[in-house]
A and B are shown apart, each in its own frame.
Chain A
Amino acid sequence: MSPGTQGALVMLITLVILLSGAPVAFSLGTLAIVFIALFQGFDALQVVAETFYAGLNDFTLVSIPMFVLMGAAIGSSPAGKDLYEALDRWLYRLPGGLVMSNIGACALFAALTGSSPATCAAIGKMGIPEMRKRGYPDDIATGSICAGGTLGILIPPSITFILYGIATETSIGRLFLAGVIPGLMLTGLFVLWTLFLMWKRGFRAHAAEFRYSWKQKFQSIPKVAPFLAVVVGVMYVLYGGIATPSEAAGVGAALCVVMAMVIYRMWNPKQLWAILRDTTRESVMILMIIAASVVFGYMLTSLYLTQTLATAIAELEVNRWVLMALINLFLLIAGCFIPPAAIILMTSPILLPIITAAGFDPVWFGVIVTINMEIGLITPPVGLNLYVINAIAPDVKLMTIMRGAFPYVMCMILAIVILSVFPEIATWLPDHMMGGAK
């Protein structure tokens, strides 16, 4: 059987097995074992156990449970409520201030937790009722929070970037920095779009009629500032080359747990166990996919499928931007069905040689992949954020939430176009702070 036919067969069966609903990690592992046995014989399976183990035997991966713990500690504390209140109290007098405080709180909380659903839940619980109370239409109130939540995987620290960094051997510190300006740009686009939409519908975002005193304005800050300081500190030691991502994340996680205990009095063993349980669940799930995807990747490489695909695409001799558009289309479609971690780990090693051969920057591409994954979080059928918002605001129809979220998908596609025209938006900060890519 030619590598091309083998590749088509592998792709088809992978799709069927994944769609059956079997856990992604075990599906990838099973597929790897079956195809190695089928095409290379049972003797070739000897290396599977060691490859599976070697996939996890890497100190860089330690950063994943550490960042997950950091996010879980902040996510289970009332920090989201305080962050929202702090921003609202400072911005409430501005026309559209509520939109800014909602999306701004989403961006900041997303940076703290790195989790899109947690951000939607924490900010949405306060933001959506408040917006609806002040007369904002349901689709704008729910759609804006849905989109704001996705910023978690773009604004650092982001687990998606860590996974991309590991899969493509790209600097995680560089990727984190590359996400900052696009993250801010996307936040700005979300705010502008919301304000434009309200203006178009004739809804005037009046400044609130009541006033907060200066004392009230400063009240929420001391509770939230330490968490923000930790994240900024983690970023500083990371890009300053002072510590590795795993070390920075470990200390950051410990500090966040201690601060949740001190500031929010989360002493109760039940609360602490809930943080640790969530961390264990998410970390084990991600690490298991990583181990299985390494074996899956080994199978693809040893059957020459990765190389065949890369050569076939190179021989197409299409314009590099047509190629990039096709890759984006593929990621968009895949993102609508498959969880981000699985897509990144499965496709990045295959796509990287193709995009570097076409002259694209791998760090820039990491940002593009992440925005594609963000879109998947708010598009049906598996857009997780849509369902989180639906659970928070059950009286708003899922269709209304989807309609509200759709224009933000357009904002993200616009961001991809802007980043394609001006790649420096992503690469300038890492190049400026860490020197040019080697």
Chain B
Amino acid sequence: MDLFVRSVKFLSRLFGYFAAALIAISVIVVCHMVFVRYALNQNTIWQTDFVTYSLVAATFVGSPYVLMERGHVNVDILPLYAGPRLRWWLALFAAAVTLFFAVTMTVFTAALWHESWANSWASDTMWRVRLWIPYSALPIGLGLLTLQCLADLVGLINGREQPFGISRGHGV
């Protein structure tokens, strides 16, 4: 079980770096686009699509890393005021909600990706991007989100992770 948790954390971190790199590259591409459009007075073809798709991809593949780091914002009023026992059950319920979302959306987005690949869908912009490429970020990111959620659940059940990251006695 430990190997599973460690492997998933490694993958989430790796994809977190990838998401950060996509954001950094997007900044450079936006600057390039501004230069080409306003300094050289030329049309831009691929930059808008590239940046938009990169940030969509960064959101999905970066999501498991953010979940691991507890960066997805939640309403933590009840967990903060709850006793340790109720807090544990709340954490289990919250993980179940996340898991349901991640599994369902992985299935739906995998179907969408397959459809775009089988029918050779292309974007209706000048760049004519093969849509299976940007769509692939969805099942990959959400699939990994499923794994990260399972790893969190394992940590919660075997007691290695504190519910909501709140250690005993640190509630309100």
A complexed with B? yes
> Chain A: residues with CB nearer than 8 A to chain B?
17-27, 29-30, 33, 45, 48-50, 52-53, 56-59, 61-62, 65-66, 69, 242-243, 246-247, 250-251, 253-254, 257, 273, 276-277, 279-285, 287-289, 291, 337-339, 341-342, 381-382
**CB-nearest residue of chain B to A276:** B20
Q: Given the interface contacts A50-B112, A284-B63, does A62 sit within 8 Å of B104 by beta carbon?
A: no
Question: B75: CB under 8 A from chain A?
Answer: yes
Interface residues of B in 42-98 (CB under 8 A from A): 48, 51-52, 55-56, 58-59, 62-63, 65-67, 69, 71-81, 90-91, 93-95, 97-98
Residues A284 and B59 in contact, CB atoms below 8 Å apart:
yes
The proximity string for B residues 87-125 relative to A, scoring 1 for CB distances below 8 Å and 0 otherwise, is 000110111011011101100110110000000000000
The proximity string for B residues 18-30 relative to A, scoring 1 for CB distances below 8 Å and 0 otherwise, is 0110011011101
A65 CB contacts on chain B under 8 angstroms: 23, 26, 55, 58
Question: B143: CB under 8 A from chain A?
Answer: no
* Chain B interface helix/strand/loop/mixed: helix
A282 CB contacts on chain B under 8 angstroms: 71
Number of interface residues of B (CB under 8 A): 58
* Cα of A66 to Cα of B104 in the assembled complex, Å: 31
* Cα of A246 to Cα of B23 in the assembled complex, Å: 13
**CB-nearest residue of chain A to B21:** A276
**CB-nearest residue of chain B to A28:** B101
Q: Which of A17, A69, A342, A382 contacts B97 (CB 8 A)?
A: A17
Q: Which of B30, B48, B135 contacts A251 (CB 8 A)?
A: B30
B58 CB contacts on chain A under 8 angstroms: 65, 280, 283-284
Question: B14: CB under 8 A from chain A?
Answer: no
Residues A22 and B74 in contact, CB atoms below 8 Å apart:
yes
* Chain A interface helix/strand/loop/mixed: helix
Question: B133: CB under 8 A from chain A?
Answer: no
Residues B101 and A53 in contact, CB atoms below 8 Å apart:
no
Q: Could you list some 6 contacts between A and B, CB below 8 A?
A: A20-B94, A25-B72, A50-B112, A250-B31, A283-B23, A284-B59
Q: A20-B93, A62-B26 are in contact. List 19 more A-B contacts (CB 8 A).
A: A20-B78, A21-B74, A21-B164, A22-B93, A26-B101, A33-B100, A53-B138, A59-B52, A243-B38, A247-B33, A247-B37, A250-B51, A254-B28, A254-B30, A276-B23, A279-B23, A281-B66, A281-B71, A291-B59
A69 CB contacts on chain B under 8 angstroms: 23, 27
* Cα of A273 to Cα of B76 in the assembled complex, Å: 28
A22 CB contacts on chain B under 8 angstroms: 74, 93-95, 97-98
Residues B19 and A284 in contact, CB atoms below 8 Å apart:
yes
Q: Given the interface contacts A276-B20, A284-B71, does A52 sit within 8 Å of B66 by beta carbon?
A: no
Q: Report the minimum CB–CB distance from A333 to chain B (whole Å).
A: 13
**CB-nearest residue of chain B to A253:** B27
* Cα of A19 to Cα of B23 in the assembled complex, Å: 32
Residues B74 and A49 in contact, CB atoms below 8 Å apart:
no
* Cα of A338 to Cα of B73 in the assembled complex, Å: 9
Q: Report the minimum CB–CB distance from B47 to chain A (whole Å).
A: 10
Residues A280 and B78 in contact, CB atoms below 8 Å apart:
no
